[in-house]
Amino acid sequence: MERKISWVKAALKDFGEFPEPVQRKIVAALRFAAKGEKAETAKPMKGLGSGIYEIVVVHRGDAFRTVYEVQLGDDIWVIHAFQKKSKTGIETPKQEIDLIVERLKRLKEQLR
């Protein structure tokens, strides 16, 4: 059984600005998640609890990331999509983590 993929509105807007090849790879990875599987480009996101994953796609030297939650209701929820701007390290910038945490909090409140 395949789960529905739902989007936080702001995440979908940001995702729409990604290059087309990046969008295709991320959608393919989300479809794996919807089937209960994990794509090679997806990994658990550390420090945010279980059930939160990050898809990372590198395209022409830029890193595009999409964060989704698998333990929130019946759907796969895409929480955030962004292009990592930092040129040093692989760590997710604090402002992006803060935004993910805030969106998760709001989404959990809405789904109650």
- For all residues of the chain together, what is the average pLDDT? 92
- Tell me the mean pLDDT in the region 42-71: 93
User: For the chain, which residues make up each domain, given as ranges?
Assistant: 5-111
Quick one: which H or E segment has residue 11? helix 9-15
Residues in a beta bridge with 54: 43, 67
Burial of 5 (0-12, 13-18, 19+ CB in 10 A): middle
- Tell me the mean pLDDT in the region 5-33: 97
- Checking if the pLDDT of 25 tops 70, the result is yes
- CA neighbours within 13 Å on the CB side: how many for 13? 3
- Where would I find the beta strands (DSSP E) of the chain? 5-7, 42-44, 52-59, 62-69, 76-84
Which of 3.30.2310.20, 3.40.50.1820, 3.40.50.150, 1.10.3720.10 would CATH assign to domain 5-111?
3.30.2310.20
- Checking if the pLDDT of 93 tops 80, the result is yes
